[in-house]
Structure 1
Amino acid sequence: MTKIHDLTPAEVDARMKIGGVELIDVREPAEYGAERIHGALLFPLSSFDPHALPKNVDIIFQCGTGKRSGMAVARCQAAGLKHAAHLAGGLQAWKAAGLPTIAIDPATGKPREK
């Protein structure tokens, strides 16, 4: 049975500011490219290898709504890794909490903070 530790956007933001944690975005490259949380690393669920994750840091998974990040936790635990934390509600919850993201400006094609 998968044990998932739900974190709120405020908890994830605070932990990222303290350091020693990596936010792992498990969405696909096009989703990540369109809008993402600053500092998140891309590890798409479609090609996810739990053993390729950064070592010696706490891992928090994140996706668009929380479904795929929960699946990433399950894959890690099935592989014998203890990663259990994810951003409950994903990017949608992050944005609803008023926290910043990086998106592509359609007029210039350049990244901009939202």
Structure 2
Amino acid sequence: MRSAGVLTILGAALLVACGDGRSPYAHGEERRVSGVLTIDAGALATRMEAGEPIQLIDVRTPDEFAQGHLEGAINIPLDDFDPANLPDAAGRERVLYCRSDRRSGVAAQQLAEATGQTVLHLEGGIDAWALGDRPIEDGAR
């Protein structure tokens, strides 16, 4: 019985040792969690710079939005977020974000469940965006 436990531990150690040591979510990558695709700030910036059609939805409060937001974003606070009443994306991919990524994660999950579509959600929120010295637009829209 004792040898079975030792074999289990050795097997687990072997599996860990076989990994390449990299995070599966390295910079510039995306990961999917039940209909929600998480995108990091660098990957989003690259897509925006390439002119990809993106609809940015900021789910923070109006006061937070007025203090600064991603260029072109629309503000739909989480408390008012209703997937059935969102503006038409007009063929654009939707990316939701908030300050850190908790609220946008909730909204993205709601949207994915309501539409059956994959929804992008900015990992680390606007805080992660700002850490990369990326542009933030001031004022309410």
Larger radius of gyration: 2
- In structure 2, runs of 5+ residues without a counterpart are 1-32
- Please name the residue that 2:8 is paired with: none
- After superposition, the Cα gap between the structure-2 partners of 1:42 and 1:5, relative to the gap in structure 1 and judged at 3 Å, is same
Pick from 43, 47, 53 the counterpart of residue 87 of structure 2: 53
The structure that is strand-richer by fraction is: 1
The structure that is helix-richer by fraction is: 2
Which amino acid is the alignment partner of residue 5 of structure 1?
L
Quick one: distance in 2 between partners of 1:3 and 1:79? 10
TM-score, length of structure 2 as denominator length: 0.67
TM-score, length of structure 1 as denominator length: 0.81
> Could you tell me whether the CA contact under 8 Å between 2:55 and 2:73 is conserved in 1?
yes
- In structure 1, runs of 5+ residues without a counterpart are 105-110
Aligned residues: 105
SS of the equivalent of 1:99 reads: coil
> Could you tell me whether the CA contact under 8 Å between 1:16 and 1:22 is conserved in 2?
no
Q: For residues 8-27 of structure 1, what are the structure 2 equivalents within 5 Å?
A: 8-17=40-49, 18-27=51-60
Q: Percent identity?
A: 28
2:120 matched to 1:85?
yes
Shift of 1:10: 1.4
Moved over 3 A (4+): none
Pick from 34, 44, 48 the counterpart of residue 2 of structure 1: 34
RMSD: 1.9
